[in-house]
């Protein structure tokens, strides 16, 4: 583990004398904390172990996005803000405290996946290069359209109201945030700029419900809102799950983009970075958009990765049946 974490810190350009703070809570992921501290020491960094009292697990924390005990812990916040890099094992990411720490200049890496997955999806410079190329194309486009054999045909119109996002699994610049093990790009349409229908196919994944669909589920979308969800029992189950949040903003279409990680598998393992990052997927999402500068902070957040799609940016086809086509986006040998 120390060896794997040291390679990750080296990719994050941790230099001798830099301050690496490792943020954790209680016994949760303490093995990761100890290994990161040891790995950072091997790179001659100064280490700070910020271990908060408490007992909630990473899974618990993931369900409480945006809320964390740092809000009432100025002493720990001061330590984190003085660091050059923060390893977030607490899942303080996606909160006001995350922005505060990054605004102070620290780069921040969220790590809470299972070790087998971290290892298998350890990032590379090649992943960064391809993800950046994907990001530039997506951020520069006016339109994204995608389709699949189940009947999807939907268009996202872009303007420059919102920021785009890329995750390549490491943080090599001051103030940057990322999530190990991610590989994906994402963007929001302009307000009202999503129209068409998405038909998720059997075998596509529903996060965070963590299931594969056994039958197609259709989302009819007009002006950026899901107006109906059709299908069989699974469509009804999904709709009921969304309605339990009692928040009409759950029906807003959120980000769109695709996965870039060739190490990702189409499985339901861990917290689900595999399916979200799966190379050549289309990642369709409903619900919150604050990460992109929007105002929808509904707690109902669906990430819906789909395989075997076709996709176009403006008039160029970039994905054919789940294969990335442009040379700069394609992984070696894929």
CB of 129 to Fe ion, least distance (A): 24
**How many residues sit close enough to Fe ion to count as binding (CB under 5 A)?**
2
CB of 275 to Fe ion, least distance (A): 12
Two tokens at 177? Answer: 């945030």
How far is it, in rounded angstroms, from Cα 284 to Cα 272?
14
Return the residues of window 281-310 that contact Fe ion according to CB under 5 A: 285, 303
CB of 54 to Fe ion, least distance (A): 27
Choices 119-127, 165-173, 198-206, 278-286 (CB under 5 A): range interacting with Fe ion: 278-286
167 binds Fe ion (CB under 5 A): no
CB of 244 to Fe ion, least distance (A): 18
- Alpha-carbon Rg for the chain in angstroms: 20
Residues β-bridged to residue 257: 186, 283
CB of 207 to Fe ion, least distance (A): 8
Exposed e or buried b per residue across 312-327, where buried means at least 16 C-beta atoms within 10 angstroms of its C-beta: bbeeeebbeebebeee
Q: Is 3 left (phi over 0), alpha (psi -120 to 50) or beta?
A: alpha
CB of 255 to Fe ion, least distance (A): 6
CB of 179 to Fe ion, least distance (A): 12
Residue among 149, 124, 143 at smallest CA distance from 261: 124
Residue closer to Fe ion by CB (options 274, 303) is 303
Residue closer to Fe ion by CB (options 302, 319) is 302
Residue closer to Fe ion by CB (options 71, 290) is 290
Residue closer to Fe ion by CB (options 6, 61) is 61
Residue closer to Fe ion by CB (options 50, 252) is 252
Two tokens at 109? Answer: 């890496």
Residue closer to Fe ion by CB (options 50, 189) is 189
3-state secondary structure of 276: helix
How far is it, in rounded angstroms, from Cα 265 to Cα 157?
30
Residue closer to Fe ion by CB (options 207, 279) is 207
Burial class (CB in 10 A: 0-12, 13-18, 19+), 160: exposed
Query: What phi and psi, each to the nearest 5 degrees, are found at residue 57?
Result: -85, 170
Contact positions vs Fe ion (CB under 5 A): 285, 303
């Amino acid at each position: 583990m120390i060896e794997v974490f040291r390679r990750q810190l080296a990719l994050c350009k941790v230099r001798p004398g830099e301050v690496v703070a490792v943020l954790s809570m209680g016994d949760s992921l303490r093995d990761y904390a100890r290994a990161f501290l040891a790995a950072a020491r091997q790179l001659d960094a100064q280490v700070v172990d910020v271990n908060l009292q408490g007992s909630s697990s990473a899974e618990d924390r993931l369900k409480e996005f945006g809320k964390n005990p740092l809000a009432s812990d100025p002493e720990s916040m001061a330590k984190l803000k003085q660091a050059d890099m923060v390893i977030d094992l607490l899942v303080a990411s996606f909160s006001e405290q995350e922005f505060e720490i990054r605004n102070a200049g620290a780069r921040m890496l969220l790590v809470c996946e299972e070790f087998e997955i971290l290892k298998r999806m350890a990032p590379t410079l090649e992943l960064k290069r391809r993800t950046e190329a994907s990001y530039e194309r997506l951020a520069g486009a006016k339109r994204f359209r995608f389709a699949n054999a189940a009947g999807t045909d939907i268009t996202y119109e872009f303007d420059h109201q919102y920021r785009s996002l890329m995750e390549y699994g490491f943080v090599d610049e001051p103030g940057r945030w990322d999530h190990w093990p991610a590989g994906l790009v994402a963007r929001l349409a302009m307000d009202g700029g999503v129209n068409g229908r998405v038909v998720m196919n059997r075998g596509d994944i529903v996060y965070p419900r963590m299931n594969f669909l056994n039958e197609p589920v259709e989302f009819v979308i007009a002006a950026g809102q899901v107006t109906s969800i059709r299908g069989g029992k699974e469509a009804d189950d999904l709709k009921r799950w969304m309605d339990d949040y009692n928040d009409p903003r759950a029906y807003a279409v959120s980000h769109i983009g695709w996965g870039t990680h060739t190490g990702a598998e189409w499985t339901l393992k861990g917290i689900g970075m595999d399916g979200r990052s799966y190379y050549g997927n289309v990642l369709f999402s409903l619900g919150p958009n604050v990460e992109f500068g929007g105002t929808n902070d509904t707690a109902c957040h669906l990430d819906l990765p789909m395989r075997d799609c076709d996709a176009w940016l403006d008039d160029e086809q970039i994905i054919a049946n789940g294969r990335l086509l442009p040379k700069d986006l394609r992984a070696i040998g894929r």
